[in-house]
Structure 1
Amino acid sequence: MSKNRDGGSSQPAEANRNTQSMSGPSDMPSMPYGQMRDQALRNRSIHTQLMEIVLSLRQTVEDNITQLMTRHQPQDLALEKQRHNQAVRDKVAFLGHLMFQMLHYLQSGATGDRSFQLPDTSMDSRVDVRGGQQAQSSRQICQTFYQRSDFEDTLISYDLYNRGIDISALYHSSFQDYTYQGNKYHKDENTLGYINLGTSEKKICIDLLAERLTRTDMLYIDEDLLQYPDWRGQPFLRKEVARFLTSDCKAPAHLDPENVVVLNGCSSVFSALAMVLCDPGEAFLVPTPSYGGFIFSTHLYAKVELVPVHLESQVTEASSYPFQLTVDKLEQALLGAKIEGKKVRGLVLINHQNPLGDIYSQDSVMEYLEFAKKYNLHVIIDEIYMLSVFDEAIPFHSVLSLESLPDPNKTHVIWGTSKGFGISGFRFGTLYTRNREVASAVSSFGYVHSISGVTQYKLCQLLQDREWVDNVYLPIYCFRLEAHRYITDKLKVLKIPFLNRGCGLYVWINLKQYLDPCTFEEELLLHCCFLDNKLILSRGKTFVLNQPGWFRLIFAARPLLLRSAIQRFHQVLVEQGQDWGVKQLEDAKEEVSTSQPAAPASLTLRKS
């Protein structure tokens, strides 16, 4: 926890930090980010795209059937009928949209356009000469589909132009697993529902937060709290955030509340930074695997590209531990981007890293900052997991703890309460930057991304109660993160390699042995097998990993739910092992039959 962050290198160089050494070169070429739709659509095979769409179609149909079979009390019928009709309209619209995508992908495959290049969305297709033919083709396909169908009330793609179609497709491809919301696991009411170990949420301290957030000091309301808030964040909250970060980040001097900006979530902060630090088409460097939400956030408004700095899972001379980030790799990625004509404006880091769980040492952070200064790059450091260190032997050093920064005017820190406090529903994210121009520009997004005054008041009360935070909440939180030991013990029994880290809410696991062949298509099929067993994990492709077979598993859940999840997880692996064994046997029989010489003619006649 934050109480044990002083001294020592936190780089996991020691061999005993890892349960097993990670190996196995990728059979996929390095994948450039390109525009967001390049990442989400263009660089995937038509086969993979169709499987993902069919998965969404299937889940949507299942959810609709579940809803239709749900019984309601007579007094709820009128309201339920209204809700049902709206839900049906929404699902039909979504099905129509997915079918349109399938037609588009199939046409791309049929015409040999394996790259599947969507129309340019940087300008309105009606006035963009360069993308005019592509845009017209896209809309013609869409119009043809709806003319030949009965979905006259679901003209989603027909009514949307390129930008809307692109955003809608990106949203559904990025968040298709969120359909589980209508069929969640419950230990009493729905034991067959989905168990979500894919979304990084902490659900082990809800009782503590519920008790604290219902105390009388949280129930205060006045006129100001019910009006439009300060777009930068209420002054009382910004002051408390500066004080909290000064203490927990061990800042050498008091942080200035004027350098704090508050928005509704860290993704909003990141999206705003992308808007104000880059022009459309420009780029950030991002070490991968990395949090996939960055991709959606940068593309949604800013049309900013993310250039991956691919990290290797193998230990080599250049990498003393798996997925190690070095300045040499940053240099190579930056040079590659320049060769491709991309303008890189900044470097994005997560400390500690998501999904790996690595914590950067002070020396490493300084090396990355020096690299950025050398090339005149901004550095965005996301420290949202800083309260989630449960191994006292691992020190965490915030960038705000450094006595001096190579370029303080271009160093920007993001933090929020979604992970450490487990209140993602509060939608709180904050930016700390010494650059007043950047702070002012990001503040303008408070016009559409601010938090309610009542919520800001509750957050202020929570953060300033250091007695409760330090002596009640954090110790219990740290103790309950021992669920990590339960999960890792199970993984050891199952002989599944994983990165053994003492922080975070997740474990990065290697399931390559269950892929045959080891491809992203097989990774998706394994992901679907987990979904068939109502278990949600996050697969490596969503973290822009260029090697198939890796998954992120969230362990910050209640014991009963974790036990049920592990049972489902094990069942899938058993089934996969059986399928693999049958396949190997069939392949062996086929090899034997094809290798035997043909029978002599006389022998054939004699048998007949």
Structure 2
Amino acid sequence: MSLPSGDPSMVRGQELRVWSAYTQLLESLLQLEKAIKDRVDLLIQPQRPVSTEEQDTNLGRLMRRVTTLLQSGETSRPPAASPHTPRAVGAHAQDQLQHPPGPLRVTYVSSELSNRGNDIMTLLNFSFQDFMSFLGDKFHKDENPLGFINLGVCENKLCSDLVTKRLSQKDMDLIEDTLLQYPDRRGHPFLRKEVAWFLTHYCNSHAPLDPENVVVLNGSSAVFSALVTVLCDPGEAILTPTPFYGPFALTASLYTKVHLIPVHLDSEVSEENPRPFQLTVDKLEQALWDAQLKGKKVKGFLLINPQNPLGDVYSRDSLQEFLEFAKRNNLHMIVDERYLLSVFDESVTFHSVLSLRRLPDLSRTHVIWSTSKDFGIAGFRFGALYTHSKELAAAVGSLGFLHGLSGITQYKLSRLLQDREWINRVFLPTSHNRLQAAHKYTTICLQGLGIPFLKRGSGLSIWINLRKYLNPCTFDQELCLHRRFLDHKVILCPGKACMCSEPGWFCLVFAEKLPQLEQGLFRLQQALLEQEQELTERLVANTMRE
């Protein structure tokens, strides 16, 4: 999914007003053109049963609207043109409007909405435009072989057969009064009990976790949004290493206008940086210091472990250092562990924050988990928070009034999580084997294409380096390559959507069924061959001119 670069809350101001005015003017002119054509047609064919009074009223309204927009002054100077492929802005502007510069490639404008409403629609349209294209034109081997293949959204589709079969068994079906009524805003007690047990067991907690410290909401993004809402005031910030899961930037800013301060990790290997994109406390300290110099009030530190999209799994010692950094700077430590069961390399050991015997700041350490990635049931919209602060649990739980799950869904999830035998003997061994096989298949293909990548043993995606296909190596060229993939009906997530500081990196999801994965990698290859040929032709043309 494409996401705005940097802080989504910055998509506003003069640039938005100018582009909004142009969008409204274009829409109005197109509507006026159609209305005039209809009126002319009526004059030519007066026998048509259409009300001329209604048409004349509509013409007058459109003319007044165009006049008002022209007199507003906002359209006195056109916004800068963009070289990128046009996208629709409004139902009648399909091929009329080019993307504005920077992050404003898609602008939603409605006179019925507030400025904030238009901002939200702009952000959401931009963030999910590729995914919406995919939903409307999905690949199917037989029914739609030319549809989009989505290798950009992290979903585990490898074990849907196992989960579907388990969720179809009779013990999953229950309809009773309590499931049809309003639940506890934090989630039904029976589900919170199973979540506490589940995290105690699979996070290797040294002591049983307390169900009273569990909050259940509709997705991990909802949990994160609720967390920053109760921890931060508008304009305050959360520190996070990048590249990272981009939608969190949207989630943080959408309602509460909380900023995510990036701790940029780089790919260059050196004596101080022995691993690509390595996170260190020194980098955290520097990013925090820079943010404070700019007047930002930083309230927390977000860590994703296992890391998405890099696939890194942090050691116990590293986790302890990060926790001590947070404690030293009075920061809340938010750890997203939604991939904890998706570590498929047997040589890699996952350590949960909940497994540590000594937490430097117990009441400020919070863990997010969901079944969306590990079990491949993102459609259930389930996310859980575990915090040692009952006060925070109560505050986040109060937002369950808006972000709760249905009772029937909660019951099915509780039955799924308590089935230890099925999880340990059927699901996890099969899931890990299939993830290993899909990862191996994909990395062999990447090696055959000469594409560098980070080889990790966790998660659902691979962080690949396509910098050699960019000339010059800029984010504009990264976007052009992303567009070329879309032309070939394959979706990857560009690095800028993950706030990567280096252009040319892409996130490729491999946890896909084999027919789609094969076809998606083939389309990727074709797009890169086309890109390579164009770069060669450009180089030859430049040489000839010289």
Q: Under a length normalisation based on structure 1, what TM-score does the superposition of the two structures give?
A: 0.74
For residue 282 of structure 1, what is the amino acid of its counterpart? E
Corresponding residue of 2:148: 194
The equivalent position to 1:166 in structure 2, one of 109, 116, 119, is: 119
Contact 1:266–1:415 (Cα < 8 Å) also in 2: yes
Corresponding residue of 1:374: 328
Question: Once the 2 structures are TM-superposed, how far is the Cα of residue 437 of structure 1 from its aligned partner?
Answer: 1.0
Contact 1:32–1:308 (Cα < 8 Å) also in 2: no
Do residues 36 (structure 1) and 16 (structure 2) align?
no
Contact 1:312–1:324 (Cα < 8 Å) also in 2: yes
Instruction: Indicate how the Cα distance of structure 1 residues 438 and 355 shifts in structure 2: closer, same or farther if over 3 A, else same.
Output: same
Question: Once the 2 structures are TM-superposed, how far is the Cα of residue 241 of structure 1 from its aligned partner?
Answer: 0.4
For residue 532 of structure 2, what is the amino acid of its counterpart? G
Corresponding residue of 2:477: 522
CA–CA distance in 2 between the matches of 1:155 and 1:43? 15
After superposition, residues 259-298 of structure 1 pair within 5 angstroms as 259-298=213-252
Residues 519-540 of structure 1: CA deviation (Å, up to 9, x unaligned): 1111111000000010000000
CA–CA distance in 2 between the matches of 1:493 and 1:259? 49
Corresponding residue of 1:257: 211
For residue 491 of structure 1, what is the amino acid of its counterpart? L
CA–CA distance in 2 between the matches of 1:376 and 1:518? 39
Residues 18-43 of structure 1: CA deviation (Å, up to 9, x unaligned): xxxxxxxxxxxxx995x5232x5799
Residues 191-244 of structure 1: CA deviation (Å, up to 9, x unaligned): 100000001001111110111001010111111111112110000000000001
Residues 321-353 of structure 1: CA deviation (Å, up to 9, x unaligned): 000111111111111111100000000000011
For residue 181 of structure 1, what is the amino acid of its counterpart? L
For residue 313 of structure 1, what is the amino acid of its counterpart? S
CA–CA distance in 1 between the matches of 2:330 and 2:411? 38
Contact 1:233–1:261 (Cα < 8 Å) also in 2: yes
Question: Once the 2 structures are TM-superposed, how far is the Cα of residue 492 of structure 1 from its aligned partner?
Answer: 0.4
Corresponding residue of 1:437: 391
Do residues 473 (structure 1) and 432 (structure 2) align?
no
Instruction: Indicate how the Cα distance of structure 1 residues 421 and 105 shifts in structure 2: closer, same or farther if over 3 A, else same.
Output: farther
Do residues 216 (structure 1) and 188 (structure 2) align?
no
After superposition, residues 529-544 of structure 1 pair within 5 angstroms as 529-544=484-499
Contact 2:462–2:508 (Cα < 8 Å) also in 1: yes
CA–CA distance in 1 between the matches of 2:158 and 2:489? 21
Do residues 243 (structure 1) and 197 (structure 2) align?
yes
The equivalent position to 2:136 in structure 1, one of 168, 172, 182, is: 182
For residue 268 of structure 1, what is the amino acid of its counterpart? A
Contact 2:155–2:372 (Cα < 8 Å) also in 1: yes
- Give the secondary structure class of the aligned counterpart of 1:158: coil
Corresponding residue of 2:344: 390
CA–CA distance in 2 between the matches of 1:197 and 1:382? 22
Contact 2:108–2:125 (Cα < 8 Å) also in 1: no
Question: Once the 2 structures are TM-superposed, how far is the Cα of residue 317 of structure 1 from its aligned partner?
Answer: 2.5
- Give the secondary structure class of the aligned counterpart of 1:295: helix
Q: Under a length normalisation based on structure 2, what TM-score does the superposition of the two structures give?
A: 0.82
CA–CA distance in 2 between the matches of 1:400 and 1:161? 43
Do residues 579 (structure 1) and 507 (structure 2) align?
no
CA–CA distance in 2 between the matches of 1:240 and 1:281? 36
CA–CA distance in 2 between the matches of 1:292 and 1:187? 30
Corresponding residue of 1:487: 442
The equivalent position to 1:564 in structure 2, one of 519, 523, 543, is: 519
CA–CA distance in 2 between the matches of 1:106 and 1:415? 50
Question: Once the 2 structures are TM-superposed, how far is the Cα of residue 159 of structure 1 from its aligned partner?
Answer: 2.0
Corresponding residue of 2:501: 546
Contact 2:239–2:262 (Cα < 8 Å) also in 1: yes
After superposition, residues 293-442 of structure 1 pair within 5 angstroms as 293-442=247-396
CA–CA distance in 2 between the matches of 1:107 and 1:489? 52
Question: Once the 2 structures are TM-superposed, how far is the Cα of residue 155 of structure 1 from its aligned partner?
Answer: 9.8
Question: Once the 2 structures are TM-superposed, how far is the Cα of residue 104 of structure 1 from its aligned partner?
Answer: 7.9
- Give the secondary structure class of the aligned counterpart of 1:421: coil
Question: Once the 2 structures are TM-superposed, how far is the Cα of residue 168 of structure 1 from its aligned partner?
Answer: 1.1
For residue 562 of structure 1, what is the amino acid of its counterpart? L
Corresponding residue of 1:603: none
For residue 131 of structure 2, what is the amino acid of its counterpart? Y
Contact 1:505–1:555 (Cα < 8 Å) also in 2: yes
Question: Once the 2 structures are TM-superposed, how far is the Cα of residue 560 of structure 1 from its aligned partner?
Answer: 1.1
Do residues 226 (structure 1) and 180 (structure 2) align?
yes
Corresponding residue of 1:454: 408
Question: Once the 2 structures are TM-superposed, how far is the Cα of residue 189 of structure 1 from its aligned partner?
Answer: 0.6
- Give the secondary structure class of the aligned counterpart of 2:431: helix
CA–CA distance in 1 between the matches of 2:368 and 2:198? 14
Corresponding residue of 1:157: 110
Contact 1:260–1:431 (Cα < 8 Å) also in 2: yes
Contact 2:496–2:503 (Cα < 8 Å) also in 1: yes
Instruction: Indicate how the Cα distance of structure 1 residues 184 and 43 shifts in structure 2: closer, same or farther if over 3 A, else same.
Output: farther
For residue 566 of structure 1, what is the amino acid of its counterpart? L
